[in-house]
Amino acid sequence: MDEQRIWAPWRLAYIAGEEDPNAPPPEPDDWRPGAKPSCFLCRASASYELAEEAQRRNLVVETGEHTVTLLNRYPYSNGHLLVSPLRHVGKLHELTPAEHLEAMQTLARYTQVLEKLISATGFNIGLNLGEVAGAGVPGHLHWHLVPRWPGDNNFMPTLAGVRMIPQSLEALWEAIVAFGSAEG
Ligand SMILES: [Zn+2]
């Protein structure tokens, strides 16, 4: 996705000296068995001593027993989440029943969270399996949960265009994490 985006909030944080957009991602203290350090989903699934800081930097909103849920850094729409098994597996049949179940329950729960938090009125939920199907990280499968609103952009635009992402990722991350703590 090379699409151009207007991303003023990040830039403001950068200009204010709060954030270095080129800072390397935090180094895990412990990787999951079989993890690939080059895989951002493995990085999001790893263990960190400074857990909250790492969650913020990796945009992780929740780590379950079998899955991790994070904001997509390159969202198709505001609130675009990824739900992924903690394990580096790329094929649907490689998932255990417990991983399947937790992924589906997590997707269901976050449709409710995003309905309440950002008034999403519909969702596209999808899985791109294999490079030919558009998987950006073919080795580590992940469901996309894309909130929709009446009159918004088409799902998965493939041609270049400028779109507004109205809320900064960090502000949204804070809102989702706070919402989860209040509910849970
Ligand atoms: Zn991975």
In contact, 103 and 109? CB cutoff 8 Å: no
pLDDT of residue 74: 86
| Amino acid of residue 155 | F
Name the catalytic one among 80, 88, 140, 142: 142
Instruction: Give the chain's domain count.
Output: 1
Domain that holds residue 77: 5-183
Q: Give bridge partners of residue 84 from the DSSP assignment.
A: 68
pLDDT of residue 159: 38
Distance 71 CA to ligand 1 centre (A): 16
pLDDT of residue 107: 98
pLDDT of residue 5: 46
Query: Does the annotation mark 142 as catalytic?
Result: yes
Q: Give bridge partners of residue 62 from the DSSP assignment.
A: 69
Distance 183 CA to ligand 1 centre (A): 29
In contact, 173 and 61? CB cutoff 8 Å: yes
pLDDT of residue 137: 86
Instruction: Give 10-residue mean pLDDT values along the chain (184 residues).
Output: 44 49 80 95 95 92 97 89 97 97 98 95 92 88 93 53 62 90 72
Q: Return the CATH number at 41.
A: 3.30.428.10
